[in-house]
Structure 1
Amino acid sequence: MKKKKLIRVFSTVCLFFLLSTILAFSPPAPHDTIVKITLLQINDVYEITPVSGGKEGGLARLATLRKQLAAQNPNTFMILAGDLFSPSALGTAKVDGARLDGKQMVEVLNAAGLNYCTFGNHEFDLKEQPFRQRLSESRFTWFSGNAFDRNQKPFPNVKENVIFTVTNASNQTARIGMIGVTMTKNKPDYVTYLDPLEAAKKQAQALRGQVDILIAVTHLPLEDDVKLAQTVAGIDLILGGHEHENVQVWRGANFTPIFKADANARSAYIHQLTYDVETRRLQIDSQLQPITDKIPEDPETGQVVQRWVDLAFGAFKTMGFEPGQLVVNSPVTLDGRESTVRNYPGKLTDLIAEGFLNAAPGAELAICNGGSIRIDDELPPGAISEYDIIRILPFGGNVVSVEMRGRLLKQVLDQGRANKGTGGFLQTARVSWSEEKGDWLINGKPLDQRRNYKAAINDFLITGNEQGMDFLNRKNPDLRVINENVMEVRRALMAQMQKEFGQKK
């Protein structure tokens, strides 16, 4: 053994001197033609703190990951594919007389090192003045090729597209172009849209000759991202949002990759782009990185997060809530993910609907829209705080007691069923669908379109503003409001939890 080891050492030493001699008389190495770029992709971020009982997400953890990637490659850029201003529980808090409306998100993402962002449809939940204020507070670059102001001009501090140059150690460069497009679902009067696919096509044609790599950052349904890959030539990579669950597919003639991460920074995509400036070949290696409690929090970003949590909690206290107060200890997981509450009933939605029902004396059934539930998180068994209740129903509002004709009730329930997969999907109590009868059952009996039913319903639903339910409003002769202010919806949920799970201890 000792002899073999010595031979290995001797051979290594000889090889070292041999290589040194060869290198000394070799011509200089050619310039490195490879430029490497790292992209850290997130989308649909509404929470600055960790979710899933602290196990997942958290923007201070994301900031740590960004710093780690930048240490490996200075050409590292963090990109957000839309949705950060709204909705969030903290965003509903009033500080200095005004709702935060995403102010906390912008400041934390500034600290975390976000570089580029395009609009999501929920950016336009905000009224114009706070929307413009959030843009002015952003240290990162906004860009959009299809969402403009009411005069069809770019909003202040928003570019129509982005071009930037990266350089390697040999001063070889690559130019990256990015175009951004957003779905046209949310239409306040201060926004005008171009068709996203037509806008992307126009932007791609304009940029393709100017850049080496072309990236589309989108906030579109997946089917529209697929159409983009199939119909717009020259796009190398699509970084998308909106779905809230991670996606990776390849579509189109050139198998354009489409990626989406999980909402609330439960995960992030790391894209390693390797570009050869001589051959003009691009290689893309992508990895889905879970953001978990195994990643330490960045202290600087963590301080910014805590500051906003403290400010918001103080505001909630002035509204009569105690955010840190225990409501109940839940024995089960409460699933508030969008993929659940907009498609199926579950324990959490049952608690909400039953809470409405029990709050309204004489109610025979209860109805609420799945879109009012915005937590998009699973609460594990254990402590449920008042802040968790605010996260579940951040918009608040009242339970309203109404009397509605059976024919109207059927119309409402039919539309709610048709709205499956959207915020207009209805969660109910004492209502079921009979496949055998092909009809609705109220308390186990077939719905009678001729009789009146007393129902508990959230106030938003009778504004006529839910998808496909413009008929459900106070002017409808088949609807009579009995009591506008039965109970605040969050108080009703807390009462129901305590009824089912026992009083707080």
Structure 2
Amino acid sequence: MEKIHLYHTNDVHSHLENWPRIHQFINQQRQQHLAAGDEFFLFDIGDFIDRWHPLTEATKGKANIALLNNSRYTAVTIGNNEGVNLPHSDLHHLYDEAHFDILLANLYQKNGEIPDWAQPYKIYQTKSGTKLAVIGLTANFSQLYTLLGWKGTDPFLEIKKRLKQLKQQADIVILLSHLGIRDDERMAEQFPELDVILGAHTHHVLENGKLVNHTLLGAAGKFGYYVGHMTLELDEQKSVMNKQATLYEVDKLPAVENEREQIQSYLDTGKDLLKTTVTSLAHTLDSDPFQETELSHLLCQAVREWCQADCAMINAGLLLGPLTGEVTEYDLLSVCPHPINPCVVELSGEELAKMLVESMDDSLHHRQIKGLGFRGTVIGRFVYDQIHFRSGCIFIDNEKIVRNRTYTLALPDMFTFGHFFKDVLPGKEKRYILPEFMRDILKWKLEN
């Protein structure tokens, strides 16, 4: 039987503290399998970059691509951290120096053409002539992609129109899917022609894979905690006779010589690249998740001004520390590492008042959240600009709120993704302001 080994990573999110062991393990496995005469392929399923890490932020992800090159990846697809957390130009040039294939079937330029740095799929051939068709798909944040100058399309429609062609060209069809576990399961149910789906996005862990119909799903969690491995065994007619999946826990892999020094060097290099001074403060600007401070109000004011809205609200938990003395770009990244953009919604006075009352709930302030771009711990209390509370009444720009008047409210986009203010925000049109993150707007305010 022919043996084909598929290794995969996903959602590393620039957790480079795990990278030395991953790199060493991958190289050792490659040598072992090739020495045995087997086939070896290595894929990343997106969100390899995350701009919380200073090296990623300073290089807009290009340092991460160098790591993938060094580990000799076969191909990657993109996640939302590559796709919607980089300005158009930075994504366009992210893979300029890549030594691997970028497979992506559902992202186009505005004119409908495939970006010149990507291809929808590729056919790989083993030494014995077995052909593997590998196609990539990413989560379709179509509204955000449009704002950034791209065109995202429905991944199900894209694979449906290509699957017959892939089956004609190849013996095995593999999907690199940054869609999430539910969509992966739907893909397997709707398209039994898929032999393997390597998954990502929802950070799910499939220790021994998951068989849905005839399709084997694999996924390796998040942050480089695992490396995934699938083994396919084929008979002489190139039919898959056996397929198995497993995960390797990275913290149980052998340590790497000078491991701590390597990890520290990633941080130090990034810090050095971000040492440009933004401003010099005459006094310290403190942060406190449960108190309004000068710094939190400054950011809230900046968000309102940047968005040209009637009023604004932010959560104080966005700011993870104080600013003092000479403030560098690294300082701004440290206190505000989130890939969170501002958003503007139109609300009636009645809706706005309802939302503001809910925002004052102390249990909400202490709520811990993960995901949605948030890189802190607790939401914290809400801070407002051009919103005041006096004698049991709400005032917008010093005028008592009018029940049927329309107001524009600027707020962090994390609150618009369906988890908060469910009686007001769902169904409302949202205007996302891209590509600036909160720290970019704070930088603008401090410079001015």
Q: TM-score, normalised by structure 2?
A: 0.66
Distance verdict in 2 for CA 1:352–1:146, change over 3 Å: farther
Q: How does 1:292-307 map to 2 (within 5 A)?
A: 292=251, 294-297=253-256
Is 2:289 aligned against 1:353? yes
Partner residue in 1 for 2:346: none
Is 2:315 aligned against 1:368? yes
Partner residue in 1 for 2:5: 38
Displacement of 1:353 after TM fit?
A: 2.0
The correspondence for 1:164, drawn from 124, 143, 148, is 124
2-side partners of 1:119 and 1:485: how far apart?
A: 28
Partner amino acid, structure 1, of 2:48: L
Distance verdict in 2 for CA 1:93–1:210, change over 3 Å: closer
Q: How does 1:369-448 map to 2 (within 5 A)?
A: 390=333, 393-395=336-338, 408=352, 410-411=354-355, 423=372, 427-429=378-380
Is 2:123 aligned against 1:174? no
Q: Deviations over 1:434-454 (max 9, x none)?
A: xxxxxxxxxxxxx99733599
Partner amino acid, structure 2, of 1:423: L
Partner amino acid, structure 1, of 2:73: L
Partner amino acid, structure 1, of 2:394: R
Q: Deviations over 1:385-437 (max 9, x none)?
A: x9899467325999xxxxxx8962532576998xx886289954468xxxxxx
2-side partners of 1:202 and 1:233: how far apart?
A: 15
Q: Aligned residues, how many?
A: 359
Is 2:80 aligned against 1:121? yes
**Larger of the two Rg values belongs to structure:** 1
Partner residue in 2 for 1:134: 94
Partner residue in 1 for 2:232: 273
Distance verdict in 2 for CA 1:42–1:424, change over 3 Å: closer
Q: Is the 8 A contact 2:234 2:240 kept in 1?
A: yes
Distance verdict in 2 for CA 1:396–1:166, change over 3 Å: closer
1-side partners of 2:319 and 2:68: how far apart?
A: 24
Partner amino acid, structure 1, of 2:157: E
Displacement of 1:234 after TM fit?
A: 0.5
Displacement of 1:181 after TM fit?
A: 0.9
Q: Deviations over 1:132-172 (max 9, x none)?
A: 211212111101111121122221131110111112xxxx3
Partner amino acid, structure 2, of 1:297: V
Partner residue in 1 for 2:270: 312
Partner residue in 2 for 1:216: 175
1-side partners of 2:212 and 2:391: how far apart?
A: 51
Partner residue in 1 for 2:310: none
2-side partners of 1:369 and 1:252: how far apart?
A: 44
Partner residue in 2 for 1:462: 410
1-side partners of 2:373 and 2:357: how far apart?
A: 11
Distance verdict in 2 for CA 1:355–1:65, change over 3 Å: farther
2-side partners of 1:450 and 1:406: how far apart?
A: 12
Q: Is the 8 A contact 2:45 2:77 kept in 1?
A: yes
Displacement of 1:88 after TM fit?
A: 3.0
Displacement of 1:292 after TM fit?
A: 1.6
Displacement of 1:64 after TM fit?
A: 0.8
The correspondence for 1:109, drawn from 62, 65, 68, is 68
Displacement of 1:297 after TM fit?
A: 3.1
| Aligned-pair identity (%) | 20
- Secondary structure of 1:131's counterpart equals helix
Partner amino acid, structure 2, of 1:174: T
- Secondary structure of 1:273's counterpart equals strand
Partner residue in 1 for 2:404: none
2-side partners of 1:290 and 1:388: how far apart?
A: 33
Displacement of 1:194 after TM fit?
A: 2.3
Displacement of 1:280 after TM fit?
A: 1.7
Partner residue in 1 for 2:438: none
Q: Is the 8 A contact 2:14 2:50 kept in 1?
A: no
Partner residue in 1 for 2:246: 287
Partner residue in 2 for 1:72: 32
Is 2:190 aligned against 1:234? no
Displacement of 1:41 after TM fit?
A: 0.8
Distance verdict in 2 for CA 1:43–1:88, change over 3 Å: same
Displacement of 1:82 after TM fit?
A: 1.2
Partner amino acid, structure 2, of 1:201: K
Q: Is the 8 A contact 1:464 1:472 kept in 2?
A: no
Q: Is the 8 A contact 1:214 1:234 kept in 2?
A: yes
Displacement of 1:269 after TM fit?
A: 0.7
Q: Is the 8 A contact 2:55 2:271 kept in 1?
A: no
Displacement of 1:214 after TM fit?
A: 1.0
1-side partners of 2:339 and 2:177: how far apart?
A: 30
Distance verdict in 2 for CA 1:79–1:136, change over 3 Å: same
Partner residue in 1 for 2:282: none
- Secondary structure of 1:296's counterpart equals coil
Displacement of 1:235 after TM fit?
A: 0.4
Q: How does 1:8-47 map to 2 (within 5 A)?
A: 34-47=1-14
Partner amino acid, structure 2, of 1:206: Q
Q: Is the 8 A contact 1:61 1:298 kept in 2?
A: no
2-side partners of 1:242 and 1:397: how far apart?
A: 17
Distance verdict in 2 for CA 1:290–1:234, change over 3 Å: same
Q: How does 1:253-264 map to 2 (within 5 A)?
A: 253-254=213-214, 256-264=215-223
Displacement of 1:118 after TM fit?
A: 0.8
- Secondary structure of 1:201's counterpart equals helix
1-side partners of 2:224 and 2:62: how far apart?
A: 18
Q: Deviations over 1:258-279 (max 9, x none)?
A: 2221222111111122111237
Partner residue in 2 for 1:83: 47
Partner residue in 1 for 2:304: none
1-side partners of 2:339 and 2:210: how far apart?
A: 41
Distance verdict in 2 for CA 1:292–1:424, change over 3 Å: closer
2-side partners of 1:70 and 1:61: how far apart?
A: 14
Q: Deviations over 1:227-247 (max 9, x none)?
A: 111111300111011012423
Displacement of 1:293 after TM fit?
A: 6.5
Partner amino acid, structure 2, of 1:184: N
Partner amino acid, structure 2, of 1:393: C
Q: Is the 8 A contact 2:353 2:394 kept in 1?
A: no
Q: Deviations over 1:102-157 (max 9, x none)?
A: 01111111112222101212212212222121121211110111112112222113
Distance verdict in 2 for CA 1:317–1:356, change over 3 Å: farther
Partner residue in 1 for 2:22: 62
2-side partners of 1:123 and 1:397: how far apart?
A: 14
Partner residue in 2 for 1:203: 162
The range that moved more, 302-311 or 105-114, is 302-311
